[in-house]
Amino acid sequence: MSEPAVDAFDTPERLERGRWLFAQPCTFLRGVVAVDQLPPFALPEVAFAGRSNVGKSSLINALTGRKTLARTSNTPGRTQEVNFFDLAGELILVDLPGYGFAKAPKAKVDAWVELIKAYLAGRPTLRLACVLVDARHGLKESDREVMQLLGKAAVPFLVVFTKADLIKPPALAKLLATSEAELRRTAAALPTPAATSSAKGAGIDHLRARLAMLTERADEGPKG
């Protein structure tokens, strides 16, 4: 999967398609704690990965316009399952356990890590992984390890900076520029990162438009 032109997802048609899709019903399918519990392959999937407390659940709630679809918590490591959500029968949203820190026994944390690795590396319906990164801290080694795993598995991924409203615009611009330079040298990375704020809604429309493109076949244009 190649990176679209910089403004390909920024057209009125793409933005409207994203708005329409993410306004449709989104239902919880299941939460799994082991590889053998993963649902059958069906619809295209987009996974949300990131360090604990980076804002994965908040971003899913912001994208879908629902405050309680994905559980949020101020306690890092609270998401303990791989949670699957069906968006309008067109796209599966996958909320992965946070990595880097968890208030849980080491054996359980190790099991989460293995589950995440198995999912990311062996899911043929996985069209894109969103690697969420706190804009205040930038890319960390744990993020790069996940990016390397995705590169080896040939899974395209998009770096999505969260909490972008908490840093000043010049700092955000510098972060985006330096990150793009690194991503252009990274296997499977889409070179243009996204900047979002679940609290303020910044960047959410553009991310919806990008993700809605995953539901289109190569021979189709925008639906809706």
Does the residue 161 lie in any domain? yes
Degrees to nearest 5, angle at CA 40 with 38 and 42 = 125
Does the residue 185 lie in any domain? yes
User: Looking at residue 24, what is its pLDDT?
Assistant: 97
Least confident of 21-25, 34-38, 72-76, 83-87: 72-76
Q: 121: exposed, middle or buried (C-beta count within 10 Å: 0-12, 13-18, 19+)?
A: middle
Where would I find the beta strands (DSSP E) of the chain?
A: 26-32, 45-50, 82-87, 91-95, 126-134, 157-162, 194-195
Does the residue 89 lie in any domain? yes
User: Model confidence over 108-144: pLDDT tens digits?
Assistant: 777 877 888 889 888 999 999 999 999 999 999 999 9
Does the residue 15 lie in any domain? no
Determine the average pLDDT of the residues in 176-182: 97
Backbone angles phi, psi at 22, to 5 degrees: -80, 0
Does the residue 193 lie in any domain? yes
Does the residue 118 lie in any domain? yes
CATH (domain of 87): 3.40.50.300
Does the residue 154 lie in any domain? yes
Instruction: Decide: pTM greater than 0.85.
Output: yes
Q: How far apart are the first and last CA of the chain?
A: 23
Determine the average pLDDT of the residues in 84-100: 92
Determine the average pLDDT of the residues in 87-91: 97
Does the residue 8 lie in any domain? no
Give the count of domains, the chain. Answer: 1
Domain that holds residue 74: 25-204
